[in-house]
């Protein structure tokens, strides 16, 4: 029988072991062709040298074990419902414990099955692992392990497992593909560059990522693919910066005059040196011939908004309009409410536009804006709608910019003739990531807090101490403080066994907090009701505000002195730090308690320890990048940017610098490149055109 003729662009549907139904599911994960499948990399690997006999395990050690399921079943008790499987090898036995997804595990485990389990060893009435990484070992893979082979373990989901595309199923397909693939993955990197970087050719790297013979091969192959990813990513940044350098704006700024001076003089505080420094940088950009593209970053509470409003005043002084977009109605309203009086006092009209306003009010605001009567228009994504037009939009300010998609930012930017752009973020960005994601933006950093801000005492506790924590809350309220309690969910979920704000509000307001004034808000609370609750909390008419992360940005209540975060193990460092910024805004000492629920993974424990010990947002951003990766920290997954499958920005900084150095040469000498480098440039250009995305703000 003739062997199948498989090429890189062959549809997966026609590959042995796939078929139409599985192909449809794979397509939903971004895999339509053989090429796509080859870029679906293993999550980790199993090899004989990494397996520990159960009787050699040590408490707090991370280990991989292999054993047979001797017993399994549901347990009930003080910690609620949980599922347990007993795994046994020739030397002993260990309990695998699962607190979430218990129905899935009840269907998955069968007595006599062989599993590899990877996780941290704990002691609770015996050795146990809580929610370990699992790989079911069939006869084929069991033999592979005992023959000393390294087994790739692929990302798995319930959907993939259901149709037989678990890790073993993916291995079968990739093995068949490599056996019958009739062409190599093309490599556009010149041989001299590969030699300089000490990297293998791409085809060999991809094969070795899937089927390595040594741990060293895994790492060197990953670095090769990582370099290609960073190169393609950075090409977008370089191309955008080049385009930007060819554009000149139609509007012009004169020297800062009386209106700006009046604004600064009327402030009830003096600008810090850091604020003065970045104001100078922004004003210098605004006076330039080319549109400003600047990111203003700084820690929670460092005073970015006053700098941005100062830039807005400067723009209006030069007969331009300003659009100031925030990600939530709460934050947009706070900006408008906080600055309307100051702007009005120097003769500048501002307005607020959000989706929840009545149609007649929205129409009135839009007409006034189009006629040039509104100097500064604050708002949410409602600003990007077609009915909103400006007479002369000269400056676009976007707060918490990583919460907006590229398309949303671009639509607002397009409402003016090459307006200046200032984007802000309270999530300080590590230099590595700033170069990668925002290399086309100039970056200003406010690296100090205004004087008088007290440090926030931070601790993390396990869920079994919650009774003591609630007593602490009651004591703090009795002393005149107010409290936030944050939950990960709005309502009970079938998929996630987590605390939710609606059930907790119902329970606590009638029990532990029955003598306190308790309010609740979340993302589905009606605007009028939400505004009323937030106003009552700000004015001191509520003692406790129970909420989801909807209050992460935009709530300013100096009297709030305590925050509890339920299921803190589920939050990233940057988000925990953002939430912490809601307290400690007044003259009283404040306390944050992060409450973690089992199972607490190794990474979650490290994250919580780091959070407790550090309050510097820049250090927290670096740590979050290392612990979670850029996509989750900065919303890259929602931005339309290429996916980094192999690159690790925390450890691949040398590759990032090398990719930027190579691209600098390609862009500098585009007209005089040799044939190999011209081929590389054209390949990257074609790839960037396919991705059809924009990096940065506009």
What pLDDT digit, counting tens, does each position of 251-288 carry? 999 999 899 999 999 998 899 999 999 999 999 999 99
Every domain of the chain with CATH number 2.40.50.140 lies at 44-153
Flag whether pLDDT at 81 surpasses 80. no
pLDDT at 629 over 70: no
Q: Would you list the DSSP string of 130-150? A: ES-EEEE--HHHHHHHHTTPP
- Give the rounded percent of residues in the chain with a pLDDT score beyond 70: 89
Handedness of CA 45, 50, 53, 57 (dihedral sign): negative
Whether the pLDDT of residue 197 is over 80: the answer is: yes
Query: Are the beta carbons of 563 and 486 closer than 8 angstroms?
Result: yes
The predicted-structure confidence for 542-584, as pLDDT tens digits, reads as follows 999 999 988 776 577 889 999 999 999 988 888 899 899 889 8
Question: Does position 191 have pLDDT exceeding 80, yes or no?
Answer: yes
Answer yes or no: are the C-beta atoms of 177 and 38 closer than 8 Å.
yes
H or E stretch at 67: strand 62-75
β-pairing, 544-547 with 518-521?
A: parallel
Where is mean pLDDT largest: 103-107, 143-147, 446-450, 608-612? 608-612
What secondary structure, in 3-state letters, does 518-548 show?
EEEECCCCCHHHHHHHHHHHHCCCCCEEEEC
pLDDT at 269 (0 to 100): 87
Tell me how long the chain is: 698
| pLDDT tens-place string over residues 387-408 | 999 999 999 999 976 666 667 7
Which of 108-117, 596-605, 625-634 is predicted most confidently? 108-117
DSSP one-letter string for 160-198: HHHTT-SHHHHHHHHHHHHHHB-SPPP--S-HHHHHHHT
Q: Which CATH class is domain 456-614?
A: alpha beta
pLDDT band at 519 (very low <50, low <70, confident <90, very high): very high
How far is 22 from 29, CA to CA, in rounded Å? 11
Instruction: Pull the structure tokens for residue 398.
Output: 């976007």
pLDDT for res 497: 61
Q: Are strands 114-123 and 133-136 parallel, antiparallel or unpaired?
A: antiparallel
Contact residues for 237 (Cβ-Cβ < 8 A; gap 6+): 436, 437, 438, 439, 440, 695, 696
- In angstroms, rounded to a whole number, what is the distance separating the alpha carbons of residues 483 and 650? 36
Structure tokens belonging to residue 361: 């009010």
432 within 8 A of 624, measured Cβ to Cβ: no
Query: Contact at 8 Å (CB) between 633 and 624?
Result: yes
Residue with more model confidence, 420 or 653: 420
Structure tokens at 582: 């809601």
562, two tokens: 């305590």
Q: What is the pLDDT of residues 294-352, one digit of tens each?
A: 989 888 778 899 999 999 999 999 999 999 999 888 889 889 988 999 999 999 999 99
pLDDT number for residue 68: 93
How high is the pLDDT of residue 405? 64
Region of residue 491 (left: phi > 0; alpha: psi -120 to 50; beta: else): beta
Q: What's the CA gap between 96 and 129, in Å, rounded? A: 5
pLDDT category at 118 given cuts 50, 70, 90 is: confident
Domain 44-153 belongs in CATH node 3.40.50.20: no
Instruction: Calculate the CA dihedral of residues 29, 35, 39, 40 and round it to 10 degrees.
Output: 40
pLDDT band at residue 691, thresholds of 50, 70 and 90?
low
Rg for the chain, CA atoms, rounded: 28
Q: Is beta strand 321-325 parallel, antiparallel or unpaired with respect to 393-398?
A: parallel
Largest CA distance in the chain: 87
The CATH T-level fold of domain 258-446 is: Rossmann fold (3.40.50)
What's the pLDDT score for residue 532? 86
Residue 637's pLDDT is 43
SS3 160: helix
* Residue 634 pLDDT: 45
- In this predicted structure, what is the pLDDT of residue 339? 94
What pLDDT does residue 612 have? 94
Q: Is the peptide bond before 599 cis (omega within 30 degrees of 0)?
A: yes
Q: What percent of the chain has pLDDT over 90?
A: 49
Strand pairing category for 393-398 and 420-425: parallel
d(CA 594, CA 571): 10
Q: What is the DSSP letter of 641?
A: P
CA-to-CA distance for 403 and 635, rounded, in angstroms? Answer: 7
Residue 330 is predicted with a pLDDT of 80
| Parts of the chain belonging to CATH 3.40.50.300 | 258-446, 456-614
**What pLDDT does residue 116 have?**
87
Which sign, positive or negative, has the C-alpha torsion 472, 478, 484, 485?
A: positive
Give the residue from 563, 389, 560 showing the smallest Cα distance to 480: 560
β-strand pairing of 482-486 with 133-136: unpaired
Label residue 635 by pLDDT band (50, 70, 90).
Answer: very low
Instruction: Decide: pTM greater than 0.85.
Output: no
When pLDDT is cut at 50, 70 and 90, the band that residue 152 belongs to is: confident
Least confident among 199-203, 399-403, 576-580, 684-688: 399-403
């Amino acid at each position: 029988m003739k062997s199948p003729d498989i090429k890189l662009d062959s549809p997966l549907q026609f590959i042995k072991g796939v078929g139409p139904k599985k192909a449809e599911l794979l397509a939903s994960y971004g895999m339509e062709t053989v090429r796509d499948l080859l870029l679906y990399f293993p999550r980790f690997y199993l090899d004989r040298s990494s397996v520990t006999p159960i009787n050699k395990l040590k408490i707090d050690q991370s280990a991989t074990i292999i054993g047979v399921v001797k017993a399994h079943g549901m347990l009930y008790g003080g910690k609620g419902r949980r599922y347990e499987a007993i795994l046994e090898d020739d030397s002993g036995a260990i309990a695998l414990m699962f607190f979430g997804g218990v129905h899935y595990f009840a269907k998955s485990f069968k007595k006599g099955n062989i599993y590899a389990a990877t996780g941290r060893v704990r002691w609770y009435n015996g050795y146990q692992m809580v929610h370990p990484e699992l790989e079911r070992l069939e006869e084929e893979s069991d033999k592979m392990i005992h023959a000393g082979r390294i087994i790739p373990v692929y990302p798995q989901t319930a959907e993939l497992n259901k149709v037989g595309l678990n890790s073993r199923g993916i291995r079968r397909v990739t093995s068949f593909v490599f056996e019958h693939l009739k062409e190599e993955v093309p490599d556009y990197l010149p041989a001299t560059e590969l030699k300089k970087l000490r990297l293998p050719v791409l085809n060999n790297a991809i094969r070795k990522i899937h089927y390595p013979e040594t741990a060293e091969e895994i790492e060197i192959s990953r670095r090769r693919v990582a370099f290609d990813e960073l190169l393609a990513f950075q090409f977008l940044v370089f191309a955008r910066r080049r385009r930007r350098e060819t554009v000149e704006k139609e509007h012009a700024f004169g020297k800062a005059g009386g209106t700006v001076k009046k604004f600064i003089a009327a402030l009830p505080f003096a600008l810090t040196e850091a604020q003065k420094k970045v104001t100078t940088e922004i004003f210098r950009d605004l006076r330039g011939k080319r549109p400003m593209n600047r990111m203003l970053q700084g820690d929670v509470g460092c005073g970015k908004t006053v700098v941005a409003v100062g830039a807005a005043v400067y723009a209006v002084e030069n007969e331009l309009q300003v659009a100031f977009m925030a990600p939530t109605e709460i934050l947009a309203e706070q900006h408008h409410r906080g600055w309307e009086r100051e702007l009005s006092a120097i003769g500048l009209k501002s307005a607020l536009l959000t989706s929840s306003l009545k149609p007649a009010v929205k129409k009135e605001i839009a007409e006034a804006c189009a006629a040039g009567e509104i100097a500064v228009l604050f708002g949410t994504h409602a600003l990007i709608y077609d009915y909103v037009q400006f007479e002369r939009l000269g400056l676009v300010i976007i707060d918490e910019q990583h919460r907006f998609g590229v398309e949303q930012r671009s639509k607002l930017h397009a409402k003016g003739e090459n307006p200046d752009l200032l984007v802000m973020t309270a999530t300080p960005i590590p230099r590595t990531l700033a170069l990668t994601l925002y290399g086309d933006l100039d970056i200003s950093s406010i690296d100090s807090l205004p004087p008088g801000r007290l440090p926030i005492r931070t601790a993390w506790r396990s869920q079994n101490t919650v009774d003591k924590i609630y007593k602490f809350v009651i004591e703090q309220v009795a002393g005149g403080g107010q409290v936030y309690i944050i939950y990960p969910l709005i309502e009970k979920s079938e998929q996630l066994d987590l605390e939710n704000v609606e059930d907790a509000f119902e329970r606590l307001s009638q029990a532990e907090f029955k003598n306190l004034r308790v309010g609740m808000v979340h993302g589905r609370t009606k605007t009028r009701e939400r505004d009323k609750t937030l106003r009552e909390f700000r004015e001191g008419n509520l003692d406790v505000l129970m909420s989801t992360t909807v209050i992460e940005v935009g709530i300013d209540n100096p009297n709030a002195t305590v925050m509890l975060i339920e299921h803190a193990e589920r939050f990233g460092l940057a988000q925990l730090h953002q939430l912490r910024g809601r307290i400690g805004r007044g003259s009283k000492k404040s306390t944050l308690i992060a409450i973690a629920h089992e199972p607490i993974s190794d990474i979650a424990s490290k994250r919580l320890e780091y959070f407790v010990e550090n309050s510097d947002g820049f250090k927290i951003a670096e740590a979050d990048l290392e612990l979670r990766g850029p996509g989750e920290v900065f919303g890259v997954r929602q931005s339309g940017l290429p996916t980094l499958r192999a690159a690790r920005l925390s450890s691949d900084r040398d590759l990032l610098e090398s990719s930027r150095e190579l691209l600098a040469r390609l862009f500098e000498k585009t007209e005089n490149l040799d044939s190999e480098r011209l081929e590389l440039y054209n390949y990257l250009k074609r790839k960037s055109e396919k991705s059809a995305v924009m990096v940065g703000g506009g």
